[in-house]
Structure 1
Amino acid sequence: MARHRSSLVPLASAYAALVAYASLYPFTDWQVPGVSPWAFITLPWPRWWTTFDLVSNLLGYMPLGGLLCGALLRSGAHRVAAVLLATALGALLSGTLEVLQNYLPSRVPSNVDWGLNTLGTLAGALFVLLLAALGWMGRWQTLRDRWFIPQSAGGLALLLLWPAALLFPTPVPLGLGHVALRLHELLQQWLIDTPLEAWALQLEPPGFEVLTPGYELITVAMGLMAPCLLAFTVSPPTWRRGLLVLGAVVLGLAATTLSTTLNFGPSHATAWVTQSAPLGWVVGAGAALVLVFVPPRLGAAIGALLIAAMMVLVNAAPADPYFASSLQGWEQGRFIRFHGLAQWVGWLWPYVALAYLLARVLSRSPRPQ
């Protein structure tokens, strides 16, 4: 198989990093264990376990196995070698994290988790191998060549991560990158017992200005336009961009509704629909359609400006009681295992997208035909 620069490489790297975060969260009270770090390997079957634990450990590593195997296949590796190497990398990652959990009092290393993670990696790799055997890898390459420019791996990875980023609660629909309040809290913690402690404690936390309906509308519109303009930078200016806008609308609606369902229950799945949100969706989609035929570099410049403005408005949004309740449910309740995965994608997506778009603006690569 010919070698291709694949978007699966950054996706696999990002997923591995997020798995590591979720496995080692909350990164506090590190201490040397009283037993060998390898002692967990020979432990008997745990006395207490749940079906959810088994299934989540198995399923959690399946995407990693699939991404690794797909990236290896697209790089030209033999199919058997790709499956074996992907499984070995997943097992190495899981084993390393289990060893590190010895040093965290809040985490318990488990040979069962290690085994299930390895099996999950193997299952994901075999699934992608099946897709390759059925010809789906070749079909995807043909589709990608038709819809996107050659140097599009990073942009496609960001586009695929966008719906996942929306699963973490946001103060405004589609309003990713809400980090100001967390940075304020971290700054106060870091400056405790320093000469700047009094100054830090007097700092007003951000997010106390209530967004007017007009500003909320603008924020939602820019939140939808962000992935659309990102897509425009990796796709030729043709009618197909209109379908990419439609895809962003559908995925955004689905991810936002799913996030609300996870937080408040199925009966409140549309609780995100406020006075301004639907109109913001319409305005964002309409504006993106108007820009369908802009050159990729100009689209990148407009997208960078929109994302920067969106982040300013998002970080000025108040931390209302419902938003705070959502965060508490994710961080302390039933979503704790997926906390790190969704949280970091939701926090970092617009900042990484902004850096990517700025790199596109400054790039001297020839204009795609």
Structure 2
Amino acid sequence: MRKTSAWPLSQAYVALIVYASLYPFTGWRDQGIEPWAFLWSPWPRYWTAFDFAANCGGYMPLGFLLALSFLRRGNPSFAPASKLVAVGIATASSAVLSFAMEALQSYLPSRVPSNVDFALNTLGALAGAGVAVMLVMSGAIDRWGRVRGRWFVEEARGAIVLIILWPFALLFPASVPFGLGQVLERLEAALGEWLADTPFLEWLPVRDVELQPLVPGAELLCVTLGALIPCLLAYSVMRSIAQRAVFGVGIIFVGLAATALSAAMSWGPVHAWAWLSLPVQIGVAAALLLALAFLPVPRRACAALVLLALMLHLSLLNQAPASAYFTHTLQAWEQGRFIRFHGVAQWLGWVWPYVTLAYVLVRVSRSDAQNKIER
């Protein structure tokens, strides 16, 4: 059985679908209808191209990843029967997930279950599974496997998954560019609401001093660390210095593009680069220089540097409040047309650094035999 990044990616994507489908997780109640009644509902009177794309396109990656996981972990010969079974399993599994999400939405007054959404979700998963089979038959997946073997060490699945998810995590608006994981202020507010009118509210720690905005120097450091962390994470599983150089420069530019796309979706295309202030520019340049300086550092040392950078980055970010402009942007995302995408992007933006922290802790805690450097 082959090890493939498609399987952990599919599981992460399932979690994101569940979050996006059931957000905002409040107001649960029995509305007096069967949870499967949406299957026989009439065609919705209003629908948009955005609804079609969100429902069909949202499940395509899941179908693709599930089918690819089955094919890559199964018989290497990829017989026609195995391809059909892979498509069938991927489509059926996605359909079951979609049905469960639509059924649960019948208990959420803020969400509307729809047979059209269910059909589009299943169609999107089928299309994604078909794309996976086409890529396998064309040999593209095998070529990617050979490229991956030349660039990354064998036990690199977790790091590859985290690196792939990093640009998507940046799509959720951040108070500081590349500032993922700023959750303390919202977590305190959420805990206060949940524990209101209960004796447990007194158990919450009370800060003596209000959170203070980041000074330009601290913002610069946060930007530098935020852009440098995925580079060091990649270095911890890559084979050669030349490959590190190409990948490090590339991932920083991908991060810039993802942040610009986030700004364009939040404030309009005209303001796509409005966030690129002087501290941010210096921070990105510093991250690029540090990424080049760390090229010869051994892999396990790079993993240790990721730990240090993450802890400092999260400490700085969570000592600062969100700006008024950032809060306004969040309201636009939560109340507007981004509500379906909001849950996915927000979930990624919040947990990515903490999952990375846990992953790297496991890596650096392994024995020397497990972390031997390949020459």
Give the shorter-chain TM-score range.
over 0.9
Structure 2 match to 1:91: 95
Tell me the SS of whatever aligns to 1:217: helix
Counterpart for residue 64 of structure 2: 66
Alignment partner of 1:347 is 2:350 = yes
Q: 1:196 to 1:82 in 2, by over 3 A?
A: closer
What is the deviation of 1:28?
1.3
- State the shift of 1:349 in Å: 0.4
- Give the whole-Å Cα distance in 1 for the aligned partners of 2:209 and 2:166: 28
**1:249 has 2:247 as partner:** no
Give the CA deviation at 1:198.
6.0
Structure 1 residue 334, shift from structure 2 partner: 2.2
Instruction: Give the superposition deviation at 1:199.
Output: 7.2
CA contact (8 A) 2:31 2:107 kept: yes
1:9: how far off?
Answer: 1.1
Q: How many angstroms apart in 2 are the aligned matches of 1:62 and 1:139? A: 22
Measured in 1, the distance between the counterparts of 2:87 and 2:373 equals 34
- Once the 2 structures are TM-superposed, how far is the Cα of residue 99 of structure 1 from its aligned partner? 1.1
8 A contact 1:172–1:317 mirrored in 2: no
Distance in 2 between residues matched to 1:25 and 1:253, nearest whole Å:
28
**How far is 1:297 from its partner?**
1.0
Q: Deviations over 1:147-178 (max 9, x none)?
A: 00001111100000000000001111111001
What is the TM-score normalised by the length of structure 1?
Answer: 0.95
The 5 Å alignment of 1:33-72 reads: 33-72=31-70
The equivalences for 1:230-269 within 5 A come to: 230-269=233-272
Name the CA distance, whole Å, in 2 between partners of 1:205 and 1:256.
31
Q: Match of 1:129, SS?
A: helix
2:292 to 265, 283, 289: 289
**When the two structures are aligned, how many residues end up with a matched partner?**
366
Q: Which residue of 1 aligns with 2:83?
A: 79
The answer (yes or no) to whether the contact 1:191–1:200 under 8 Å persists in 2 is no
Deviations 1:220-239 (A, max 9, x none): 11011100111011112432
1:194 Cα deviation (Å)? 2.6
Matched residues in 2 for 1:55 and 1:241: separation?
A: 36
2:78 — aligned with what? none
1:317 pairs, out of 284, 308, 320, with: 320
Query: Is 2:306 aligned against 1:303?
Result: yes
Structure 2 CA distance, aligned partners of 1:368 and 1:81?
39
| Partner Cα separation in structure 2 for residue 351 and residue 198 of structure 1 | 27
Partner of 1:156: 160
Contact 1:165 1:346 in 2 (8 A): yes
SS state at 2:109 partner: coil
- Does the 8 Å CA contact 2:181/2:349 hold for their aligned counterparts? yes
1:271 equivalent in structure 2: 274
> What do the CA deviations read for 1:230-275 (whole angstroms, capped 9, x no partner)?
1011112432101111111111110011111111111111111112
**Partner of 2:148 in structure 1?**
144
Give distance in 2, aligned partners of 1:318 and 1:307. Answer: 19
Q: Which amino acid aligns with 1:367?
A: K
Query: Where does residue 180 of structure 1 map in the other structure?
Result: 184
Q: Structure 2: which 5+ runs fail to align?
A: 76-81
**Residues 177-186 or 192-201, more deviating:** 192-201
AA at the equivalent of 1:338? F
Aligned position for 2:372: 367
Shift of the alpha carbon at 1:98? 1.0
Offset, 1:204:
6.3
| Counterpart amino acid of residue 29 in structure 1 | G
Q: Share of identical aligned residues, percent? A: 48
Within 2, Cα distance between the matches of 1:138 and 1:309? Answer: 40
Deviation string, structure 1 residues 46-95 (Cα, Å, up to 9, x no partner): 22322321221111111111111111111125211111111111101001
* Structure 2 Cα separation of the partners of residues 61 and 243 of structure 1: 32
* Residue pair 1:233, 1:360 contacting (<8 A) in 2 also: no
What residue is the counterpart of 1:357 in the other structure?
A: 360
AA partner of residue 372 (structure 2): R
Question: Does the CA contact (< 8 Å) of 1:181 and 1:205 recur in 2?
Answer: no
Pair 1:110 & 2:108 matched? no
- Whole-angstrom CA distance in 1 between matches of 2:12 and 2:233: 18
* CA positional deviation for 1:203: 4.5
Q: What amino acid does structure 1 have at the position aligned with 2:299? A: P
Which of 213, 218, 223 aligns to 2:226? It is 223
Moved over 4 A (4+): 198-206
Q: Which amino acid aligns with 1:266?
A: P
Report the AA paired with residue 256 of structure 2: L
